Structure 1
Amino acid sequence: MLNSNLLRKLDMQDLMVFIAVYEQSSVTGVSESLCVSQSTVSYCLKKLRNAFEDELFINTRTGMRPTYKASTMYSHVLKILESINLCHSGAQAFDPIRQAVTFNICAPEYFELLILPRLLKQFDVADLPVTVNVHKLETDIPAEELRSGQLDLVICFGPNFHRTHADFKSQMLLEDELVCVFDKRATAPQQPRFSLQGFVERRHVFPTPWTSDSNMVDGWLASQAQKRQIVARANSYGAALKLITGTDFILTLPRRVQALLASDTLFSHCSPPSGLPGFTLDMQWSPITDQDRANTWFREQVVQVCAEQGLL
């Protein structure tokens, strides 16, 4: 925060005039070097004097002589202008056109279905030599691989579905909710939402697009002192949909996946029991790669894809 409201009225030109007058000791010379009128220089000096409550420069026969306060200010103002220039130039951005690059990420099938296809298409259209290797997400985040640099990024579920690591950087990509899917010929619930009792009485197919003995549904049911009957576990959402076809089984899917894969001609869907929470999709990375230009660029591409698809 600023110590005075008058400081808020200063701009870059005022600071440039201060430095130029200090170094040149001449209003005329400053006017010429900055390509501004002498009246502009005088106006800037007036603003500076009001803001810093000091004369700053005294007009003498030998030129503009800085006061003690102006002398102490000089190095600080110079650093301000240098910092502004650094902000403008910034670090050189990563350019994937100049060098082929491979990103190793750990992610669930959810990411592969909703985000990765658009991401790869974007790279293909721009003719970028970018390769993305996806490793399957396990119950725990592969922390050591992320810290060692074997993995560039982890895409995972939240909140609180995986053991947290305080040293990792994190960003939420999107939010989603769960929906119950069943064969169109199967017995539909009497209401547009399953009751808790009706939900646990039905037989379930459990998709495991990330390796885990249970998922967010089972965790919530346990908190309700309930348990569902699982008749089969599938390695993918698509396979799970095949397994419920022609049966009375139900499948609990993320709504975005249901909209993408569960054709309305074959499947119906309804809301899960009231209280079943939704989830987030997050990305996590090591602080070691936080300033890495390639890693930063890739994370920005992921966020951009999510934004373009209206996922954010």
Structure 2
Amino acid sequence: MLHSNILRKLDMQDLMVFLSIHEQRNLTLVSEALHVSQSTVSYCLKKLRSQFGDELFISTRSGMLPTRKAQAMHGHVQQILHQVNLCHDLPCFDPREAAQTFNLCAPEYFELLVLPHLMRAFRDAGLAVTVNVHKLDRELPGEALLDGRFDLAMCFGPGFHRLMSGLCSQVLMEDDLVCVMDRCSLPAQSHMDIQAYAARQHVYPTPWTSDSNMIDGWLRQHGLERQIVARTNSYRAALQLLQGTDQVLALPRRVLALLGQETWLGSCELPTALHGFSMDMIWSERADHDEANGWLREQIVKICAAQGLL
């Protein structure tokens, strides 16, 4: 933070004028060296004198002589401009320079809600970026992230997967589950109680490799089990199995908004005791310092923010 509010009006040109006067000792030469008018140089010097409470340079026949304060400031101002130049010259990944391929491990949830927007952004920007998505398994691919086989992994949280040492994480979005069924079999109430929910036959989508999900753990906590009559590889296939039945499907609310356009589909709220979930992005500590990996993570966050997911 600045020690004085008046310093907020200070800009880079003022500091460049300060250094140039210190070097040239002549306002005309400063004007020529910086390619600005003499009135601009005079205005900058006036600001500097006001902001630092010192004359800074004394006009004499032999030139502009720096005051003791100006002499003391000189090294610090040089360092300020040097640090600004370092910020400007920081290495930055540019996908326009060469084709780039990224390998991700992610569930269908990410492929539906984020990937299409991400690839469209790459295409619209004319970027030669390829994204290979591998199906998320029961366990987080920690070793593959650590050795670079995967650049990123997307997994459900919080706490659904063990995060091994050497990995970093960031929450991308949050969601909850809604109970979906054929409209003809909707309960009279807007919420379905847990006993009625467990009594129904269930369709279970497996967009990631797992024999159970948070629903099963939640039911076990209440001494209940559900009967799964069908398992599918995708949310869309699971939805199609509901038509003409009284079977139910626990579906992420965002996925229902995207896929649930059929007029025969209906939904109701699950008991409020069932907590929501998050979609987390995982990468290695080594990749945390990789410019290309950091660029990809930034693009994904931008997409989530632009789509109102983050």
Question: Partners of 1:72 and 1:30 in 2: how far apart?
Answer: 20
| Cα pair distance change 1:127/1:49, threshold 3 Å | closer
**1:56 paired to 2:56:** yes
Matches within 5 A, 1:84-123: 84-96=84-96, 98-123=97-122
**1:157 paired to 2:192:** no
Question: Partners of 1:166 and 1:64 in 2: how far apart?
Answer: 60
2:154 touches 2:280 (CA, 8 Å); kept in 1? yes
**1:257 paired to 2:255:** yes
SS of the aligned residue for 2:286 comes to helix
| Cα pair distance change 1:50/1:260, threshold 3 Å | closer
1:195 touches 1:274 (CA, 8 Å); kept in 2? no
Q: 1:174 maps to which residue?
A: 173
Shift of 1:20: 0.7
Which structure 1 segments of 5+ residues have no match?
Answer: none
Q: Which moved more, 1:148-157 or 1:292-301?
A: 292-301
Residue type matched to 1:303 in 2? V
| Aligned Cα root-mean-square deviation (Å) | 2.7
Q: 2:274 maps to which residue?
A: 276
Shift of 1:250: 0.8
- TM-score, normalization by structure 1: 0.85
Question: Partners of 2:156 and 2:13 in 1: how far apart?
Answer: 49
Question: Partners of 1:167 and 1:207 in 2: how far apart?
Answer: 31
Shift of 1:181: 1.0
Shift of 1:132: 1.8
Question: Partners of 2:41 and 2:115 in 1: how far apart?
Answer: 56
Q: How many residue pairs align between the two structures?
A: 310
Which structure 2 segments of 5+ residues have no match?
Answer: none
| Cα pair distance change 1:260/1:41, threshold 3 Å | closer
Shift of 1:291: 4.1
| Cα pair distance change 1:167/1:70, threshold 3 Å | farther
Shift of 1:103: 0.9
Q: 1:290 maps to which residue?
A: 288
Shift of 1:3: 2.2
- Residues 13-43 of structure 1 show CA distances to partners (whole Å, capped at 9, x for unaligned) of 2211111111111223223323444454344
Question: Partners of 2:150 and 2:104 in 1: how far apart?
Answer: 6
- Residues 63-117 of structure 1 show CA distances to partners (whole Å, capped at 9, x for unaligned) of 2222343233222212222333343454344124x42222110100111222223
1:207 touches 1:234 (CA, 8 Å); kept in 2? yes
Question: Partners of 2:198 and 2:95 in 1: how far apart?
Answer: 52
Residue type matched to 2:4 in 1? S
Residue type matched to 2:194 in 1? L
Question: Partners of 1:49 and 1:165 in 2: how far apart?
Answer: 57
Question: Partners of 1:166 and 1:43 in 2: how far apart?
Answer: 57
Matches within 5 A, 1:227-238: 227-238=225-236
- TM-score, normalization by structure 2: 0.86
SS of the aligned residue for 1:244 comes to coil
SS of the aligned residue for 1:276 comes to coil
Residue type matched to 1:153 in 2? L
SS of the aligned residue for 1:211 comes to coil
Q: Which moved more, 1:224-233 or 1:279-288?
A: 224-233
SS of the aligned residue for 1:150 comes to coil
Question: Partners of 1:223 and 1:74 in 2: how far apart?
Answer: 69
| Cα pair distance change 1:40/1:122, threshold 3 Å | closer
Q: Which moved more, 1:106-115 or 1:26-35?
A: 26-35
Question: Partners of 1:109 and 1:151 in 2: how far apart?
Answer: 17
Residue type matched to 2:247 in 1? F
- Residues 222-274 of structure 1 show CA distances to partners (whole Å, capped at 9, x for unaligned) of 44454433334333223323443443221100122223333433422111112
2:176 touches 2:277 (CA, 8 Å); kept in 1? yes
2:95 touches 2:128 (CA, 8 Å); kept in 1? no
Q: 2:47 maps to which residue?
A: 47
Q: 1:16 maps to which residue?
A: 16
